[in-house]
Amino acid sequence: MELPARPTLFDFHGVSMTKYFTDNWDNIQNFKARSDDILIATYPKAGNTWVSYILDLLYFSQMSPDRRDQIPLHQRVPFLEMHIPGFPLGKSSSVACCAQVGIIVVTCHSSLLGVDELNQLTTFPRIIKTHLPVHFLPKSFWEQNSKIIYVARNAKDTAVSYFHFDRMNRAQPEPGDWSSYLQRFMEGKMVFGSWYEHVTGWWEKKQTSSNILYLFYEDLIEDTDKELCRLYSFLGLSPTVELKKQVREKVLFDNMKKDKMANGSRDEAFDFKISPFMRKGKVGDWKNHFTAQQDEQFNEDYERKMKNTHLQFRTAL
Ligand code: A3P
């Protein structure tokens, strides 16, 4: 099937977006969150998939062991604001359709419609993915006091990861070359807007909201066990030793990279010949991309943009 042309970026209430995340805006804003929903919020490329996978295993792996092998992660953890009607989802969806309704599906050109998928979910808690800046989040999440896990990643590694993602993902705007991409990253002309405003906006909100756990990708890499304990405590979970061990093993980068239901390999929008979805999973890969001059310019600009926040990131471990 022919893929639609890449979408273009436009200004949406002061945030750069594409139609794939704004076309269903009224339904997104009117989404009815529940008090037992768990939202995983991140700027793109900060480890949303990683934490989604962790939560899905924690809540469902013992109850329904087949779920992990039969249903792609993006269906287990729907993407709230995504709205791509008629976008081909590839073989993984066909497998999921077969598994769920017991019929043979030759082709399955489904759609990615986050709100609809969420409203149809029969399992609970609902684990929900979002990349929305804090001021765009539907108000029902605040009214219901749903638990929110925000994951932030340092700007330099985020920019690099996002660049490779945009190269391989035909549902994203054309990235152009690295140097112009980095410039646009600094200007906030990325899908979901400015990294600087995203991470600081959520950080400010966290100061007055006990329902937000603010995690860092770098901490998760450095000491996964410690961050998992913080997650268990925030969620009020006491997993068995066996479950903890299972989660720890399954969410290792190399294991997730091999998992076809989580690594994006069946998604027709992704071109793995250009770059894999599970790319490197490291802190500090920016050093392989930034020139000395780019680094200097980036640091100066960073100081200016982040001067009013106490939020600190590590760009190396
Ligand atoms: P890289 O491109 O630097 O490798 P998101 O899920 O928010 O799109 O984030 C994707 C980034 O998280 C990618 O970074 C990906 O490799 C990394 N990632 C995903 N799962 C991971 C894991 N289990 N361990 C470490 N990094 C992981």
pLDDT of residue 97: 33
Give the Å distance between the CA of 104 and the centre of ligand 1: 33
* Ligand 1 nearest-atom number relative to CA 165: 2
Residue 256, ligand 1, Cβ within 6 A: yes
| Mean of all residue pLDDT scores within the chain | 91
Q: What is the pLDDT of residue 276?
A: 94
Predicted confidence (pLDDT) at residue 274 exceeds the cutoff of 90:
yes
Q: Domain spans of the chain?
A: 33-306
Q: Which atom of ligand 1 is nearest to the CA of 44?
A: 7
Domain 33-306 has CATH 3.40.50.300: yes
The finding on whether 42 has its CB within 6 A of some atom of ligand 1 is yes
User: What does the pLDDT average to over 284-302?
Assistant: 98
Q: Which residue has the higher pLDDT, 110 or 69?
A: 69
Ligand 1 within 6 A of 108 CB?
no
- pLDDT attached to residue 105: 31
Closest CA to 171 of 259, 275, 87: 87
Using CA atoms, how far apart are residues 52 and 58, in angstroms rounded to an integer?
10
What confidence score (pLDDT) does residue 112 get? 76
Look at residues 29, 46, 57, 17 and name the one whose alpha carbon lies nearest to residue 214: 46
- What is the average per-residue pLDDT within 70-75? 91
What is the C-alpha to C-alpha distance for residues 38 and 40, in angstroms, rounded to an integer?
A: 7
Q: Which range has the worst mean pLDDT, 27-41, 214-228, 253-267?
A: 253-267
Q: Which atom of ligand 1 is nearest to the CA of 42?
A: 7
What is the average per-residue pLDDT within 277-285?
97
Structure-block tokens of residue 291? 């020139």
Ligand 1 centroid to 125 CA: how many Å?
24
Q: What 3-state DSSP class applies to 113?
A: strand
Residue positions annotated with a catalytic role: 131
User: In angstroms, what is the span from residue 60 Cα to ligand 1's centroid?
Assistant: 22
Q: Report pLDDT digits (tens) over 239-269.
A: 999 999 999 999 999 999 999 999 988 788 8
Residues 87 and 171: beta-carbon distance below 8 Å: yes
pLDDT for the residue numbered 98: 30
pLDDT at residue 63 in the model: 83
Whether 279 lines ligand 1, by a CB cut-off of 6 Å, is: yes
Q: In sequence order, what are the beta bridge partners of 128?
A: 39
Distance 203 CA to ligand 1 centre (A): 21
Which ligand 1 atom is nearest residue 279's CA? 4
